[in-house]
Structure 1
Amino acid sequence: MTTATAEVPDEEIAKRLTSPEVSNRSVAQELGVSWGRVDLVRQQLGIDTYQRGRRVPEATWQEAVGRRVKAVDGGHAEWTGGRNPNGVPVLSWRSIAETAYRAVFRMHHERDPEGNITHTCDRDHCVAGEHLADRVLRAERRAGGDGGA
């Protein structure tokens, strides 16, 4: 176990410590590292300690999304909530689950997305509403770029 701990870089631990809702224990078990090492990385990142059962539930879907989006340089936005095993930002609220991309798109564009959501920027996993496009927006951009033809 000590060998596995030494092989896991702090950056990998940091990727999984996305918010105060993620426990040290869950990250330690997932990566095969000690709880203390996860706690040290948490402290270095300045993320509050996980407190089981003390989280105040969000009243609305918008509040749940807003609580997990952090603005970063260049007009981009970072997701601080959970991720699926592929690293895709996800949100689960009151037994409703979907990707953060779809949730943010809906809030920003005030309509449901059609088809897959793609990024219009080159930043991995950016969740800024203006940097997300669905099938309709991609078609509009192609049409505009071809002179409307």
Structure 2
Amino acid sequence: MITATDPTVTDQEIARHLTSAEVSNRSVAQKLGVSWGRVDEVRQRLQLPTYRRGRRVPERSWEEAVRNRIKTVAGGHAEWTGSRHPLGTPLLSWQGRAETAYRAVFRLHYGRVPVGNIKHVPDCDVEHCVAGEHLEDRVMRDARRAGGAR
């Protein structure tokens, strides 16, 4: 633990490193060579929430939880950054509600509950892609096979 403080480090520099409740006082203190107490004083002056190890700031809505876990990648595909089933299936768990990310993203993208299993459209070859436009339910597959529009 660092006990001596670097007098050249300003409170503004400390504040720049305290970007959210997910940044600990200890990590800022170690990075800047100042005491934990000084960082805590700056945090309190800025009225930032106290850091809680291992706890994220909870999302305010289900939609926010979905959007926070999607990363857009090349080719219009999307990667799921949240948890996964041991077989790789992307999963969303929010406020005690759990479902596959495919169903959550489908509902958010199309504004309706999917019918049957969610699968990728034929021209999406990226395993576990969660881009809304790359997902289709049974109704959409049946329409595509019948020659109709999606």
Give TM-score, length-normalised by structure 2.
0.61
1:1-149 aligned within 5 A: 52-120=53-121, 121-144=124-147
What is the one-letter code of the residue matched to 2:139?
V
Q: Secondary structure at the match of 1:126?
A: coil
Distance in 2, Cα, partners of 1:96 & 1:52? 23
Q: CA offsets, 1:27-65, max 9 Å, x none?
A: xxxxxxxxxxxxxxxxxxxxxxxx734310001000000
Shift of 1:144: 1.2
Count of aligned residue pairs for this structure pair: 96
Structure with the higher helix share, 1 or 2: 1
What is the one-letter code of the residue matched to 1:122?
D
Shift of 1:126: 0.1
Question: Larger radius of gyration, structure 1 or 2?
Answer: 2
Distance in 1, Cα, partners of 2:134 & 2:115? 15
Query: Structure 2: which 5+ runs fail to align?
Result: 1-51
Q: Secondary structure at the match of 2:147?
A: helix
Shift of 1:66: 0.2
Q: Percent identity?
A: 68
